[in-house]
Amino acid sequence: MKLIILDRDGVINHDSDQFIKSPDEWLPVAGSLQAIGRLSQAGWRVVVASNQSGIARRLFTMNTLGMIHARMHDACADAGGRIDAIFFCPHGPDDGCACRKPRPGMLHDIASRFDVPLGSVPLVGDSLRDLQAGAACGCAPWLVLTGKGRATLQAAGGVAGLPPGTRIGDDLSSVVDQLLGEGA
């Protein structure tokens, strides 16, 4: 099975320091939905792994998060794509849970649900915590320069400051171009 794990905010949709709190605030990054469509049509299973501490912060409810994700599912379908599952951590940064990235709990749950080892599964994110969670599970980390990606790369002092083996793409579409071009 070809599996890819995507962070949501900053990879699929535009990020906001004030959080994405409603379906109307969910706006796709240019080309991201079409990239998911190309993955789906090439036989990949697309899974989203996202920290959603806005729930713990009481900025939005689980019902609202469901509506945001319904909008994302519909938009992907309109672009010929499919998101096979969405995993999210509803906890705050100080809750000490095992599922909040950079901890790998959410990724272990994905491996269990899909019954696949995560070794070399591409994980695409825009923050260091995404890459760290992926590296802890043996995923192949990809940093996109959308969302917080450029700031992440700068704060790391370049690619050498990122988890070993991290590759960089301008955006999700660029990563998909490389993955599909390599026959991965």
Domains: count for the chain: 1
Residue 168: what pLDDT? Answer: 97
Question: Do residues 123 and 131 lie in contact, with contact meaning Cβ atoms separated by under 8 Å?
Answer: yes
Q: Where are the alpha helices (DSSP H) in the chain?
A: 32-41, 62-78, 105-114, 128-136, 149-155, 172-181
CATH number at residue 123: 3.40.50.1000
Residue 7 annotated in active site: yes
d(CA 14, CA 62): 20
Both ends of the chain: CA-CA distance in Å? Answer: 11
Residue 183: what pLDDT? Answer: 45
Q: Which of 9, 15, 126, 130 is catalytic?
A: 9
Cis preceding-peptide flag for 102 (omega within 30 of 0): yes
Residue 130 annotated in active site: no
d(CA 133, CA 61): 25
Q: What is the pLDDT of residues 58-76, one digit of tens each?
A: 999 999 999 999 999 999 9
Residue 180: what pLDDT? Answer: 97
d(CA 58, CA 55): 5
Residue 182: what pLDDT? Answer: 57
Question: Do residues 115 and 96 lie in contact, with contact meaning Cβ atoms separated by under 8 Å?
Answer: no
d(CA 82, CA 44): 9
Domain that holds residue 59: 2-181
Residue 184: what pLDDT? Answer: 44
Task: Write out the chain's pLDDT in tens, 184 residues.
Answer: 899 999 999 999 999 999 999 999 999 999 999 999 999 999 999 999 999 999 999 999 999 999 999 999 999 999 999 999 999 999 999 999 999 999 999 999 999 999 999 999 999 999 999 999 999 999 999 999 999 999 999 999 999 999 999 999 999 999 999 999 954 4
